[in-house]
Amino acid sequence: MIEVENLTIRFGAGKKPVVSNFNLAIEPGMAFGLVGESGCGKSTVLRAISGLNPNYEGQIKLDGKILDHRRERSFFRQVQMVFQDPYGSLHPRKTIRSQLKEPLRNQGISAKSTSLDDALQAVGLDPVLSYRFPHQLSGGQRQRVAIARALVLNPAILLLDEPTSALDVSVQAEILNLLQDLRTERGLTYLLVSHDLAVVSHMCSRIAIMEAGEVVEETDIENLRKGTITHPYSQRLLGASRRYGKSA
């Protein structure tokens, strides 16, 4: 469904790459995790795939078709992104209903009230909340709105950039379980970026581990749970995660 070949990204001509020779292949319906410490290039990869950063070398394919660096409008009917901070990704002076309409307007689709209500109900929200502003909702509700906005076009792929890291711990599991249910119900393909191994082990069947802009290891989630990973950085990351879990 998604193929990335030799992706290299620099922030300025002649600069050292922040992502180097990155390769990835995700099958339809798979939840794939991209893991690593902050600053390793995870979100940079996601922004290139989403079309937010067109300045890259290499190829990105969607369902076997090479994508132009400047995405066509039809691309966004198939691929949507959910950002880390649900307050920052929603316009503070527009109602929820207005923001749900925006993707539809961008695609020239009539924004029917029923489709907006359905999108909110799909993420467990009462449609009456659509007349409120983001600051009138809790953090978990705002992230549910962000997910509803991504779903309103019925995409095949969701790019998830740390979708729970800005939320209270008590709310994180609710959002992860919601995303799991939506993927099962709709046959969605996920690419999830996270620094939290517990999150990816809950959500994903396969992961790639990044260090300093490069993938150092790709493995399935069972190997991660068993600890049978081979790269020294992967082992350090897993060890740190386990120590943090015990101290918490």
pTM given for the model? 0.92
The verdict on residue 104 lying in a domain is: yes
Strands 214-220 and 206-211: antiparallel
Q: Which residue has the higher pLDDT, 42 or 170?
A: 42
What domain range is 171 assigned to?
73-247
| pLDDT for res 248 | 46
The verdict on residue 35 lying in a domain is: no
- CATH number, domain of 170, equals 3.40.50.300
The verdict on residue 56 lying in a domain is: no
The verdict on residue 58 lying in a domain is: no
Angstrom distance (rounded) from CA 238 to CA 222: 13
**What does the pLDDT look like over 36-63, one tens digit per residue?**
888 899 999 999 999 999 999 999 999 9
| pLDDT for res 243 | 57
The verdict on residue 164 lying in a domain is: yes
**What does the pLDDT look like over 142-151, one tens digit per residue?**
999 999 999 9
Angstrom distance (rounded) from CA 1 to CA 19: 21
| pLDDT for res 242 | 65
The verdict on residue 16 lying in a domain is: no
- Collect all residues with Cβ–Cβ distance below 8 Å to 187 and sequence separation of at least 6: 28, 29, 156
The verdict on residue 154 lying in a domain is: yes
| pLDDT for res 13 | 79
Query: How many domains does the structure of the chain reveal?
Result: 1
The verdict on residue 36 lying in a domain is: no
